Structure 1
């Protein structure tokens, strides 16, 4: 006779250990069932991502890279400026993505399952805001002697080091956040026994000894055979490449002269547009996205967002024909929509990745995702800058003249990522009995 599975009450199946930080977090999550999300946790995650010093330092310099290339007379022609700025962006990519891997795993463990969409949405929102606030800060604070001569006198320290101020400001903020990290709760289970710690933590997460035993047996299996995980990671890497290339192109295109199809913006102008986008993105990610994700699911809304991104992005070159207030309004609307759609896609894929593995595998899974993304992102700035410089040299071409070409190429990457979000390539993890009883 087949063994009969008897479902027990949830509280009877759970076991908590004293002096175990992971158990304390799990117990707090259980006691908060039916309650709203703790906004102190959201704020904590927000600041951890936003103030990753390497990340914002990189993004702060995104807007100022063209100015640096011009200041040091590196480019021989105006059209070559974007290309050299792209190479400079590639040189300053760094290891900040691996901090994001830890934060993603930590966020998934910190929030109850019904709040994980909001938690990961907060990570994506903070990441997106960093992509926006960074260049904005760079635009406002770089070259302070030229922009604020009544505060920063000429021939002073600030004149000799015109790009010191934005890096100093974010370093101070990052230091303060680092001090605050001392008080964030640990989610790692430690039961003072090498085997018991992992096994009990897995059984605790699964809610039953049978499901726990099955997953304990699988814990040593390589994550590379987990196709629901790997398919979402590959799509995530392709679309992340698109996003970092888009950001590079946007900043360089906006400050390029009108004669080359650009907008002739100053770094302050770029900062203003990106700041508006940042505010809209915050509101969307913290209010609208969790509702949309709950109604449609993360992958469905990601597919729709990717489809909408393609015609939106191809409309960017036509913005250069506008001027004055109309230019600012239309560009701000386009920027808001593009950033909202991008963060919707990325958040959906992050949810799929973290739901495709168990708790003890999430750190490694997010590490794989961030490693892949870092490799793709390393080529994003130089590729975007080089293609933009090439497109600006073919301003009178018959087919996709000028910047129409660079946005068309960005759309090709977007389309590849979109196709990867459909079956048979993308596979979602099927819910097990232990998943459903939660």
Structure 2
């Protein structure tokens, strides 16, 4: 049941792709690094708050008997943090319905516009300046609407660059999620079995400190380093660091 619940949670987490697409549509190369730095920042803030709440809200009947002394919470000690998480998701859903503006404009959804520079003789007009023999050639810029059809999902997936990015990101997500899960199990495992033997609240504090450090890196270090070395080099360095974390 736990595995099925976690798999369903990941399968329904489509907001990640939507948020990244929206950011890409409202930014350009001058501010994409700073804008996309907010994504790990939000993740880090969640990693800072969520483990703390999850750790201190679990087993509420034993921790806070004066407030949560209910048999149902004794039978299901992790029900309260799960309900709290569901409540936050509901708030996010309502906020998106009423306050999230569409970043893909209607014109973009139906047609594409591109500026083409016509260099042939038919697209040039010559203006003779009074009192001189020089000619000024002005090239017309024509706006072409709807010339290129919007590619389908399968056509996009056939692109080699897209395939490389997807495969690389899949491995990165697998490594990241696996590391988080293994780390939580290692912290909870008793010391005599090779673990650390932390309680749920101590595990929550540990992940909160990790989230705080990640937040500082995302806000302070990532934007200037991304502008300095570029996305590809920074991505390769991050993947190499993942190997070091496992070792």
TM-score (norm 2): 0.76
Q: 1:166 aligns with which of 81, 102, 123?
A: 81
Structure 2 portions without partners, runs of 5+: 118-141
Aligned-residue RMSD, C-alpha: 2.8
Instruction: Tell me the distance in 2 between the aligned counterparts of 1:215 and 1:249.
Output: 50
For each residue in 1:328-354, what CA deviation from the matched residue of structure 2 results, as whole angstroms up to 9, or x when unmatched?
xxxxxxxxxxxxxxxxxxxxxxxxxxx
Is 1:247 matched up with 2:159? no
Alpha-carbon spacing, 1:112–1:122, altered in 2? closer, same or farther (3 Å):
same
The counterpart of 2:110, out of the listed 194, 198, 205, is 198
Partner of 2:122: none
Q: Is the 8 Å Cα contact of residues 189 and 198 (structure 1) preserved in structure 2?
A: no
What is the aligned partner in structure 1 of residue 151 from structure 2?
Answer: 220
Deviation at 1:220, TM superposition (A): 2.6
TM-score after normalising by structure 1 = 0.45
1-side partners of 2:240 and 2:61: how far apart?
A: 44
Aligned residues: 218
1:300: how far off?
0.3
Give the corresponding residue for 1:353: none
Instruction: From the superposition, tell whether residues 106 and 254 of structure 1 become closer, same or farther in structure 2 (CA, over 3 Å).
Output: same
Describe the SS at the equivalent of 2:233: helix
Taking the aligned partners of 2:164 and 2:43, their CA distance within structure 1 comes to 22
Q: Over alpha carbons, which structure has the higher Rg?
A: 2
Secondary structure of 1:263 counterpart: coil
More strand by share: 2
Map of 1:88 onto structure 2: 2
1:179 is aligned to 2:94: yes
8 Å Cα contact 2:48-2:207 kept in structure 1: yes
Instruction: Report if the CA contact (8 A) 2:51-2:205 is conserved.
Output: no
**Structure 2 Cα separation of the partners of residues 101 and 293 of structure 1:** 21
1:90 shift after superposition: 4.6
CA distance in 1, matches of 2:231, 2:146: 25
Q: Structure 1 residue 279 and structure 2 residue 212: aligned?
A: yes
Residue 149 of structure 1 aligns to a residue in which SS?
coil
In 2, Cα distance between equivalents of 1:89 and 1:139: 20
Distance in 2, matches of 1:127 and 1:140, equals: 20
Kindly state the Cα deviation for residue 280 of structure 1 after the two structures are TM-superposed.
1.9
Q: In 2, distance between residues paired with 1:261 and 1:189?
A: 55
Higher share in helix: 1
**What is the Cα deviation at residue 128 of structure 1?**
4.7
Worse-superposed segment, 123-132 or 168-177 = 123-132
Q: 2:229 maps to which residue? A: 296
